[in-house]
Structure 1
């Protein structure tokens, strides 16, 4: 039952926006300029593979909370070294521009219209590992109609740590059972459910490209399963479809 839900919060990378295509698009001219012979999508995948290990150092307490822009920058330099380019030989402004590719990602085709419908009835906000500046810039560029932008540094925790969910609910002045996480990732939803959140699964079968093999179907009996944000709005009783 979803009758008591007051806020819908969203995973962003993969659920709301297409990170892989956006990062590949931004990386392509950089790779060509510096003679790195790798497919831009493969480069995006390599950069993304360092995402969870970097956050795990924060989650485990091995390093203090560090915003995602900084982690992305460190990971970018490591991936460039893996491909034979010393980042010290690249202008800082050029590296920074590429690192901010994550600020310039495109929404999935149904995201803006679906969020706009959901906003008529619910508080909508990101519950993302992204930092506030990243999510703000992304929203301005993509037209994402958030009611609030709650980056990970607001919660001071990275998903799937329970604090990431519980602190977000507290910031919104809501009980966990009044909040639904909407995500394309079963693991994220499982972590949210364990803290008392309701859950909505929206598969994004092209998040990792045509060969994607995970998160193609719900792994549990999530409270809502919808093929896209329009269907999610229908399921949540929002008009305008």
Structure 2
């Protein structure tokens, strides 16, 4: 039986040298990747002075709060429905009405009235059909009783130290003020669709935002979980940050509806604050 051949000193040196070379290449690649990430972040951060945050769905959660408000307002009267399904249908009908307004197929309505009209159109044939307008308007208050996502307050407080922050919303003045006050959200400025007399993603809304912020669009970072809203901001030459609210209704359905790159893609607002 032959003896096991020991590797020569030369082959050992070559082997260890290869390992050292591989380590060097590995760490060099990691450093280059890290450096490129820093450069990318610095490039995206350059000139940003204003952060414009969408509200419903982006900064605050709507589906569970609206469902809970419906359950609280209606169920004690002995009416029990699938409030999650009802809330989704309500939201979708409101969005359709906004599209009709944008196309001039319907006269201007503030968001409170849009939601109320959508509610009235949904209830025929349901137990709510017997309720008068006063009781239905109480139900309509559900859209002012939303809850912030867990990361919102912490991120805004940090970002306010460096940037001007704006809430930019399709809500009307009263809704936006109520949400901001009730949740104590520390935005520095509020821009509503009522003030703009236009709804996202209409071009007029973004022009109004640019005018109100007092800076050029390339200095504005528009933050939203809505791809269509971000597309409108991008077309208006703003920087964009897409926040992936995976728990938000419509996230998976609309994920591939608009194929567009964004300056930032984040999982929550704290992540955005850390990158900025």
What TM-score do the two structures reach when normalised by structure 1? 0.89
Match for residue 94 of structure 2 among 42, 51, 56:
51
Larger RCO: 1 or 2 (CA < 8 Å, sep 6+) = 1
> Whole-Å Cα distance in 2 between the matches of residues 113 and 25 of structure 1?
25
Give the CA RMSD over aligned residues: 2.0
Shift of 1:91: 4.0
Tell me, which stretches of 5 or more residues in structure 2 are unaligned? 1-43
The aligned residue for residue 260 of structure 2 is: 220
What is the TM-score of this pair, normalised by structure 2? Answer: 0.79
Q: Structure 1: 5+ residue runs without aligned partners?
A: 237-241
- Superposed displacement of residue 219, structure 1: 4.0
Kept after mapping to 1: 8 A contact 2:110/2:171: yes
Q: Is the 8 A contact 2:228 2:258 kept in 1?
A: no
Residue equivalent to 2:136 = 95
Q: Looking at CA atoms only, which structure, 1 or 2, has the larger radius of gyration? A: 2
Rounded to whole Å, the distance in 2 between the matches of 1:193 and 1:26 is: 35
Distance 1:82 1:170, change over 3 A: farther
Paired position in structure 2 for 1:4 = 47
Greater per-residue helix proportion? 2
Partner of 2:195: 154
Give the stretch that moved more between structures: 100-109 or 216-225.
Answer: 216-225
Compared CA separation, residues 105 and 162, structure 1 to 2 (3 A): same
Residue 212 of structure 1 and its aligned partner are, at CA, apart by 4.3
Query: Is 1:193 the equivalent of 2:240?
Result: no
- 1:183-207 CA distance string (max 9 Å, x none): 1122211111011110001110111
Tell me the alpha carbon deviations over residues 62-121 of structure 1, each in whole angstroms, 9 at most, x when there is no partner: 2332110010111111112253532xx324332222111111100000011111111111
- 1:164 and 2:205 matched: yes
